[in-house]
A = this chain, B = another copy of it.
């Protein structure tokens, strides 16, 4: 049976590139039969990566069949995985997020989690010397994933290992990191094709904070005005998205990659209270700028109070 390698349901660059890289490793180095699949449409940066490195668009699957062999990368959270995930034959997990609980396996499997910025960095370490055999497309996907997750080393999640491995891959590929990251971020910043609801869900995760269900959306961009110009429409779309997704509120953080700050959209009093309680700011109007805030994992989730 072919092992399906996948990330989470909102395929960003890491959740698209890491399955591509790991399916290569499982197939070509470990001699297993594996292929990357996606659990949703890749975001614009991930689509750029596939195009740039000549990688076939992976098949998109909705759910997994009972007994389907799967290898999970970039999440360990059942809420971000297919509904039937615990009926699948989970062969392994490689991730860099907090342990959520809820995934169960029948026997011991390979699990590797490290507090690094990017799953692809962990995969690179696991590949060891075999990375030398990887085709350009695999190396390119891994480099793109690391530059994406670290926001070209700006994010506070960045570690020395992420940075060193990205530099090694870039050198090997003959890629100028600065110029390439600009191209990537331009692709990510072009959100004109997305509806307001799609934008609110694109890079979002659901959390319960103090009994309040929040959809925490983070849009990383080098062109924040492209999103903020749609502020009124986005605010108007929030109640419907929240209600459809079983959340009380949608928190939309627009991260300016170059200025290294986030703008939180504040559609109502409850979000205003959340913002003031969480970020030590006073909110005046329907946006608030949070200097230095770039990482949901490190700077938003740990401080949210509802």
Contact A115 B106 (CB under 8 A): no
Report the minimum CB–CB distance from A100 to chain B (whole Å): 6
Tell me if A's interface is mostly helix, strand, loop or mixed: loop
Give the size category of A's interface with B. 20 to 34
When the two chains form their complex, are residues B111 and A302 in contact, meaning their CB atoms are under 8 A apart? no
The complex is assembled from copies of this chain, and their number is 2
A135 is an interface residue with CB less than 8 A from chain B: no
Do B297 and A108 touch (CB < 8 A)? Answer: yes
Q: Does A31 contact B (CB under 8 A)?
A: no
Contact of A107 among B98, B101, B111 (CB under 8 A): B98
Report the minimum CB–CB distance from A95 to chain B (whole Å). Answer: 8
Contact residues, A72-122 vs B (CB, 8 A): 90, 93, 95-116
Minimum CB–CB distance from A156 to chain B (whole Å) comes to 12
Q: Once the chains are docked, how many angstroms separate the CA of A202 from the CA of B100?
A: 31
Contact B108 A104 (CB under 8 A): no
Rounded to whole Å, the gap between the CB of A98 and the closest CB of chain B is 5
Q: Are B113 and A106 in contact, with the CB atoms below 8 A? A: no
Evaluate contact between A101 and B102: CB separation under 8 angstroms. yes
> Is B113 within 8 A of A109, CB to CB?
yes
Interface string of A195-213 (1 = CB under 8 A from B): 0000000000000000000
Q: Which residues of A approach B to under 8 Å, CB–CB?
A: 90, 93, 95-116, 297-298, 302
* 10 CB < 8 A contacts A-B: A95-B108, A98-B108, A98-B109, A106-B302, A107-B298, A107-B302, A108-B116, A108-B297, A111-B113, A112-B112
